[in-house]
């Protein structure tokens, strides 16, 4: 039995015990749980392929064909002609998520949900399972399976960065533990594309510099990485050494509220986009009206995704949160592409100083 012995000494308070829990293909797992006939066949949850829908998630049978989240449903069907796409049932997913988070509270109150299907837990001070983070992760996985009938994967590590990588290491239905004394060697062998924040462009840039794994980043000085990668350079320097001091954000605040719609047929020109704003703004006003807590609108924004899947987002501090203000943002955003539009999103950025009620009413 693998125990996290070094993290169990109270004389080392600086060493944290972080668990990252990630449900396996969550939406699809709930669908297969509730309808066993769906098990064993390629399944996706998402929008209708005939109406330009997008895959929200899919099971592992579908992933074997190359189907992935955020993929156009029509393209997913080309990859997997037998793919069954079912519409999402958000109420069922939220109910399962709440039940899973209730299980987390048996072990710690320091929980940072990232979405309905994943969360960080700081169990450094927890006395459950004799203080062993490994045993806590095992028990969480067992309880979720017993209570909800789905599997979760978990990663245990001294920080959030490594715990999230670890939870993906043995998916599905897996557990990976990175002990403090294993961090250096584990990170040295880690491919740079596994680092948080390293996308395809940054990974390609690193490879062009002869950097494939983190060990090859170690000779680089902070200032050299900053020169090559800007503000992200210092973060690269830290991650290549397994350093991540970010605390859990237990009381998270919303940063924005938005509404978007993908159209069955491309909106051909600017006027068609302007005509589409009114129903979106009405939904946005409704969502703002349901927002709990004290927030203040800091700026409006609009997102346009063009027919070729390129997109642009335009936001402007001080712009009026009114239909006229969004019309002006739409005109400017459309000018950046000048092509038919498949998706429009409208929203507001928030801060947390005052109530937003007075500004919200301008949308009506």
Residues 199 and 282 in one domain: no
Query: Per the domain annotation, does 124 fall within a domain?
Result: yes
* Residue 56, domain extent: 32-88
Q: For residue 312, what is the domain's CATH number? A: 3.30.1490.100
Residues 72 and 173 in one domain: no
Residues 326 and 269 in one domain: yes
User: Can 118 be counted among the known catalytic residues?
Assistant: yes
Q: Name every residue whose Cβ is closer than 8 Å to that of residue 327 and which is 6 or more positions away in sequence.
A: 274, 277
Query: Per the domain annotation, does 250 fall within a domain?
Result: no
With cut-offs at 50, 70 and 90, classify the pLDDT of residue 84: very high
φ, ψ of residue 317 to 5 degrees: the values are -65, 135
pLDDT of 12 above 60: no
Which residue among 158, 183, 208 closes a domain?
Answer: 183
Among the residue ranges 58-67, 81-90, 348-357, the one predicted with the least confidence is 348-357
pLDDT digits (tens, 9 = 90+) for 150-170: 999 999 999 999 999 999 999
Residues 144 and 16 in one domain: yes
Terminal Cα-to-Cα distance of the chain (whole angstroms) = 61
- Helical (H) or strand (E) element with 118: strand 118-122
Chain Cα centroid distance, residue 207 = 26
Query: How big is the CA angle at 26 (ends 25 and 29), to the nearest 5 degrees?
Result: 80
22 is an annotated ligand-binding site residue: yes
pTM above 0.75, yes or no: no
Residues 73 and 147 in one domain: no
State how many domains the chain has: 4
Query: Per the domain annotation, does 284 fall within a domain?
Result: yes
Catalytic residue among 118, 216, 328, 359: 118
Residues 261 and 351 in one domain: yes
CA 350 to CA 88: how far, in whole Å? 28
Query: Per the domain annotation, does 267 fall within a domain?
Result: yes
Average pLDDT of the chain to the nearest whole number: 87
Question: What is the arithmetic mean of pLDDT over 36-46?
Answer: 95
pLDDT of 10 above 60: no
Residues 15 and 100 in one domain: yes
């Amino acid at each position: 039995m693998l125990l996290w012995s070094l993290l169990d000494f109270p004389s080392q308070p600086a060493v944290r015990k972080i668990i990252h829990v990630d449900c396996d293909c969550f939406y699809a797992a709930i669908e297969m749980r509730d309808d066993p006939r769906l098990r064993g066949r390629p399944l996706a949850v998402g929008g209708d392929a005939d109406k330009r829908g997008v895959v929200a998630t899919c099971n592992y049978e579908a992933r074997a064909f190359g189907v992935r989240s955020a993929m156009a449903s029509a393209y997913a069907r080309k990859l997997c002609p037998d793919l069954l796409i079912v519409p999402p049932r958000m109420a069922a997913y939220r109910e399962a998520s709440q039940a899973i988070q209730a299980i987390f509270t048996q072990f710690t109150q320091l929980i940072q949900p990232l979405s309905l299907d994943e969360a960080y837990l700081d169990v450094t001070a927890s006395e459950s399972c004799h203080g062993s983070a490994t045993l806590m992760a095992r028990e969480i996985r067992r309880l979720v399976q017993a209570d909800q009938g789905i599997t979760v994967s978990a990663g245990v590590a001294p920080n959030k960065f490594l715990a999230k990588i670890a939870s993906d290491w043995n998916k599905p239905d897996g557990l990976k533990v990175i002990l403090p004394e294993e961090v250096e060697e584990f990170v040295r062998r880690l491919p740079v594309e596994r680092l948080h924040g390293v996308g395809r462009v940054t990974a390609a840039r690193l490879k062009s510099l002869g950097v494939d794994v983190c060990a090859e980043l170690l000779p680089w000085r902070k200032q050299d990485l900053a020169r090559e990668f800007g503000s992200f350079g210092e973060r690269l320097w830290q991650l290549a050494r397994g350093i991540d001091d970010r605390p859990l954000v237990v009381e998270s605040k919303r940063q924005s509220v938005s509404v978007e719609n993908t159209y069955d047929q491309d909106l051909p020109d600017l006027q068609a986009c302007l005509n589409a704003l009114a129903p979106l703004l009405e939904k946005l006003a409704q969502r703002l009206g349901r927002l709990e807590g004290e927030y203040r609108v800091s700026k409006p924004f609009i997102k346009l995704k063009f027919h070729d899947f390129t997109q642009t987002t335009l936001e402007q501090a001080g712009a009026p949160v009114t239909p006229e203000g969004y019309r002006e943002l739409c005109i400017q955003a459309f000018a950046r592409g000048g092509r038919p539009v498949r998706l429009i999103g409208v929203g507001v950025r928030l801060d947390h100083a005052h109530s937003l009620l007075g500004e919200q009413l301008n949308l009506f």
